[in-house]
Amino acid sequence: MFKKIHRELKKESCRKIGNGFLVMALICCLMFVSYQATSAVITSAKVGDRELPIYCVDTTEKKVALSFDAAWGAEDFPRIMDVLDKHKVKVTFFMTGGWVEDNPDCVKELVKRGHDLGNHSEHHYDMTTISQEEKDSELKTVHDKVKKLTGYEMYLFRPPYGAYDNDVIKTAYAMHYYPIQWSVDSLDWKNYGVDSIITTVCNHKALAPGAIILCHNGAKYTADALDTMLTNLEEQGYKIVPISKLIMKENFHMDATGKQIADNAEKQKTTEAVIH
């Protein structure tokens, strides 16, 4: 009798242990799936043998993104913020490490007002001319500064001078950044004047849904031109958004011009053509 009871207890114990292992295995599987879902990162955007940044986005929505490179100067920063507030517009600021150090209150104000913060490297070097170790450091140093100052996790990167090669783009993606260029250059850095900036942007041949506009917060005439430029864009029917609200974060590919296209876009267009 005691042997029978012992056998039954042993069976019950084994059954509980087996169930325990099953539960643990199920939990591990769920954790793995969850990790895969949350840690998926685009690691490449190749067209042939070339790695490309995002110049613009393929979209039917009439929206464009406005961006400012901030590498030096902040004298016009308050005026720029006021104009953006007037138009209820959010933008993207790409900042160097030096600009972050010199203007911590501006960085905090950008976060407070709901604008994007983007990485523009630590020293504004031509990233194609430095070592891989230096490339990594150029991105990481600014990232850490901004995170420590504001808690903000940047994930948009614009290479200084717009200079890039395959290694620069691969580095950005490897460090969980989307590399961003532009399709409409205001040429404000040439200091041609207020009218030149407005005309260059608002009559640009590449101004279209999905365009990314480049300005510089420290350029001489940018703050003076901004109000009229935004009004003109709005009168053309454009909604101005930050880059984070324009680009796709996954399931995309690039064409040879650097346009970001949804993976199902061609299939959808073909289907619509057949239906019609």
In a domain? residue 272: no
Per-residue confidence (pLDDT) for residue 242, from 0 to 100: 98
Cα within 13 Å of Cα(39), Cβ side: 7
One-letter amino acid of 88: K
* Cα dihedral: 157, 158, 159, 164 (round 10): 90
Q: What is the CATH number of the domain that holds 180?
A: 3.20.20.370
d(CA 137, CA 94): 17
Summarize pLDDT for 73-91 with one digit per residue, the tens. 999 999 999 999 999 999 9
221-238 burial string, b = 16+ CB within 10 Å, else e? bbbbbbbebbeebeeeeb
Q: Does residue 21 sit in the same domain as residue 99?
A: no
Examine the domain organization and report whether 97 and 14 are in the same domain.
Answer: no
**Higher-pLDDT residue of 177, 9:** 177
Does pLDDT of 131 surpass 90?
Answer: yes
* Residue 161: per-residue pLDDT: 97
Looking at the structure, tell me whether residues 246 and 112 fall in a common domain: yes
Q: In sequence order, which residues have a C-beta less than 8 Å from that of residue 230 and are 6 or more positions away?
A: 83, 87, 89, 240
Least confident of 25-39, 134-148, 182-196, 260-274: 25-39
Burial of 29 from C-beta contacts in 10 A (0-12 / 13-18 / 19+) = exposed
* Residue 273 belongs to some domain of the structure: no
Q: Mean pLDDT, the chain, as a whole number?
A: 86
**Is residue 183 located within the same domain as residue 145?**
yes
Domain limits at 89?
46-267
Out of 20-24, 125-129, 135-139, pick the least confident: 20-24
Same domain, 50 and 157: yes
57 plus 36 within the same structural domain: no
pLDDT of residue 266: 58
- The confidence band for 42, taking pLDDT boundaries of 50, 70 and 90, is low
184-224 confidence digits (pLDDT tens): 999 999 999 999 999 999 999 999 999 999 999 999 999 99
Share of the chain above pLDDT 90, in %: 77
22-31 residue pLDDT tens:
434 443 343 3
pLDDT at residue 49, as a whole number: 81
- Mean pLDDT along residues 173-181: 98
Q: What is the mean pLDDT of residues 239-246?
A: 98
Q: Give me the number of domains the chain comprises.
A: 2
Confidence of residue 9 (pLDDT cuts 50, 70, 90): very low
CB atoms within 10 A of CB 114: 10
pLDDT at 129: 98
Percent of the chain with pLDDT over 70: 78
| pLDDT at residue 213 in the model | 99
- pLDDT tier at 94 (50, 70, 90 boundaries)? very high
Active site residues: 69, 216
pLDDT of 264: 83
Mean pLDDT for the stretch of residues 219-240 = 98
pLDDT tier at 44, thresholds 50, 70, 90: low
Considering the domain architecture, whether residues 121 and 142 belong to the same structural domain is answered as yes
d(CA 156, CA 173): 10
